Every structure is written in C-alpha cells, then in structure tokens.
C-alpha cells in the first residue's frame, strides 16, 4: 500500500476504479486513508497521483479535522458483534493474533484497530462467497468470475459488465453481518446477471430454477439497512474533491 506525507502526517493511499469517473477524485475514508478514485482506462502515472494529492493538501487537512470529531464504533469487551447472522459478545485479548470464535464469544486481538477488524471480516466473507461460487460453478455450470468486495452504500451486490469476457462481480462487505442464506442469494443473483443482464423474465426464471424462494429472500433483504451495517465498520465516506 502506498503512503504519502501530507502536512507532516503519513497517510495510506487506496485506489478505486470505475467507468463513471472522468477525472481523478480524492476523498478521505473513516480510517483516515486517502482514496483515489479514477477511471480504469485513465492514463495516470504514480507521480501524477502524488502531485494531485499534494495540490489538495488543504482539503485533506480539512477532512481529517472533520474525521477527528466523528464518533466511530468501538469493539470493546462486552459489546456485541453480529457475524453471518449470529450475535456474539466481544472479548479483547492479547493472546491472539487474529479474530477467532469461541462459543458465543468473538475474540479480537487487543491491538486490532477498526481497520484491522474490517480486514479480518473481509477474509471471512470472501471465504463464504468463494464456497457458494464454487458450488454453483460445479453443480450449475456457471463460469467462475472475477469478483471483489466493495463498501458501496448503494447495493449489496453488483455485476459490472463492460463487454463479453470483461465482467466481474462486486459484493458488499456488509454482507458479513447477514445470515448466510442472504449471501447465498446475492451470489446466485449476481451470477445469473452474467447470463441475463436485466431483471427480466429470463433472469428470474434462471434464479428461481435454482433457488425457488429467491424472491422471498429478495424481499426479506429489504429489512436490512445497508448503511447501518456499513457504519458498524466505521465506513462513512467524507466528501470527494
């Protein structure tokens, strides 16, 4: 991960790509990291990015000051954490180097920051998603697509389609909190978009042929507030420049 010093502060730089960006965009996430958002096909060197960041040092300082006044969630002893639909009590310990489940407790290393916790939960979710994708690829002849996690506040899952052979799936990190039946549904939903891009009759026939209660799960998914779950991980983007 790249780092840069801005106003005597060392900050990490993350990169995100989307076709909707025509120019370089910059924002500060809730972990105090710089997010650079750009078009995937934009020709931009590492030096250009660093110059762009330095030219917006005052904006970064302003956003970091705002972030310092924002309350972020904590996972202290006795607080709760919902993981894959089950509620656990949080226990902090110096004995462990990663998050583990012990009965009804989630043990989190004492030194773990909110960002460290998010990173561990991403690994948990990716393992579950891979299990479902492999299952559908084996039993229903779906091709294994490229896929990644996102922290968008707009969707639980998405199929990004550029052209034949150039598509990938995105799954929201907040899915890690939901019961696995919803992760299963979102994975199948997005896999079916690789065959049928729109939510038409052919699409739903494909989904319900494999998962007859798909629409019931889709409706139940509306009872979960995506933004609330993102906030549990401290994900709250400050404005773009």
In a domain, 126, yes or no: yes
127 and 196 part of one domain: yes
Q: What percent of the chain has pLDDT over 70?
A: 89
- From residue 238, how far is each of 26, 60, 75 by CA, in Å? 10, 10, 22
Domain residues for 185? 120-229
Q: Is residue 194 part of a domain?
A: yes
Does residue 160 or residue 191 have the better pLDDT?
191
Averaged pLDDT of the chain: 86
What's the angle, vertex CA 36, arms to CA 7 and CA 154, rounded to 5? Answer: 125
Asked if residue 77 is part of any domain, the answer here is no
Residue 20, pLDDT score: 65
Give the pLDDT confidence score for residue 22 in this predicted structure: 73
C-alpha distances in Å from residue 64, one per residue of 11, 36, 55: 11, 15, 16
- Would you say residue 239 has pLDDT above 50? no
For residue 29, is pLDDT > 60?
A: yes
The answer to whether residue 236 is domain-embedded is: no
Residue 197 in 3-state DSSP?
coil
236 versus 98: which is more confidently predicted?
98
Q: What is the pLDDT of residue 216?
A: 96
* Residues 136, 53 within the same domain: no
User: Does 96 reside within a domain?
Assistant: no
Identify each DSSP E strand in 131-185 by its residue range: 146-150, 157-163, 166-172
Asked if residue 240 has pLDDT above 50, the reply is no
In this structure, the answer to whether residues 141 and 222 fall within a common structural domain is yes
What CA–CA distances, in Å, run from 17 to 40, 61, 178, 219? 5, 24, 27, 30
Residue 203 in any domain: the answer is: yes
Residues 126 and 222 in one domain: yes
Shared domain check, 221 and 129: yes
> Which among 68, 89, 107 is the end of a domain?
68
Three-state SS at 169: strand
pLDDT tens, position by position, 36-77: 877 766 677 788 888 888 888 888 888 888 767 655 567 888
* Count: domains in the chain: 2
Domain end, chosen from 28, 51, 68, is at: 68
Residue at 79 is within a domain: no
**CA distances (Å), origin 94, targets 78, 106, 113, 115:** 16, 13, 13, 17
* CATH code for the domain of 124: 3.30.2010.10
* pLDDT tier for residue 113 given thresholds of 50, 70 and 90: confident
Reduced 3-state DSSP string for 96-136: CCCCEEECCEEEEECCCCHHHHHHHHHHHHHHHHHHHHHHH
126 and 195 in a common domain: yes
How far apart CA 232 and CA 176 sit, in angstroms, is: 11
Domain co-membership, 61 together with 124: no
Rounded Cα distance, 166 and 135, in Å: 22
For residue 239, being part of any structural domain is answered with: no
**Are both 139 and 43 inside the same structural domain?**
no
215 and 137 together in one domain? yes
Which residue shows structure tokens 């494999």? 210
Nearest to 174 by CA among 191, 149, 192: 149
- The predicted structure's pLDDT at residue 210: 97
Does 132 share its domain with 213?
yes
| pLDDT on residue 18 | 67
Q: Which of 29, 53, 68 is the last residue in one of the domains?
A: 68
Tens digits of residue pLDDT in 123-168: 999 999 999 999 999 999 998 889 999 888 889 999 987 766 678 8
Same domain, 63 and 135: no
Q: 179, 85 in Cβ contact below 8 A?
A: yes
Same domain, 51 and 133: no
SS3 221: helix
Instruction: Please give the average per-residue pLDDT across 92-104, as a whole number.
Output: 91
């Amino acid at each position: 991960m790249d780092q840069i010093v801005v106003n005597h502060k060392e900050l990490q730089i993350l990169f995100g790509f989307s076709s909707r960006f025509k120019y370089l965009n910059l924002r500060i996430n809730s972990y105090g990291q710089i997010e650079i958002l750009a078009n995937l096909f934009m020709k931009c060197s590492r030096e250009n990015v660093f110059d762009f960041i330095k030219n917006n040092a005052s904006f970064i300082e302003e956003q970091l000051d705002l972030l310092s006044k924002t309350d972020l969630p904590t996972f202290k002893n006795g607080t709760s954490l919902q993981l894959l639909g089950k509620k656990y009590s949080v226990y902090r310990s110096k004995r462990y180097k990663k998050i583990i489940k012990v009965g009804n407790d989630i043990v989190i290393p004492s030194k773990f920051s909110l960002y460290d916790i998010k990173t561990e939960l991403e690994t948990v979710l990716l393992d579950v998603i891979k299990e479902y994708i492999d299952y559908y690829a084996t039993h229903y002849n779906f091709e294994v697509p490229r896929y990644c996690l996102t922290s968008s506040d707009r969707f639980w899952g998405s199929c990004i389609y550029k052209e034949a052979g150039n598509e990938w799936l995105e799954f929201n990190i907040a899915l890690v909190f939901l019961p696995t039946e919803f992760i299963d549904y979102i994975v199948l939903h997005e896999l079916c978009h690789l065959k049928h891009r729109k939510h038409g009759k052919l699409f739903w026939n494909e989904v319900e042929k494999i998962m007859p209660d798909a629409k019931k799960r889709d409706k139940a998914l509306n009872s979960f507030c995506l933004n609330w779950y993102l906030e549990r991980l401290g994900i709250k983007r400050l404005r773009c420049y």
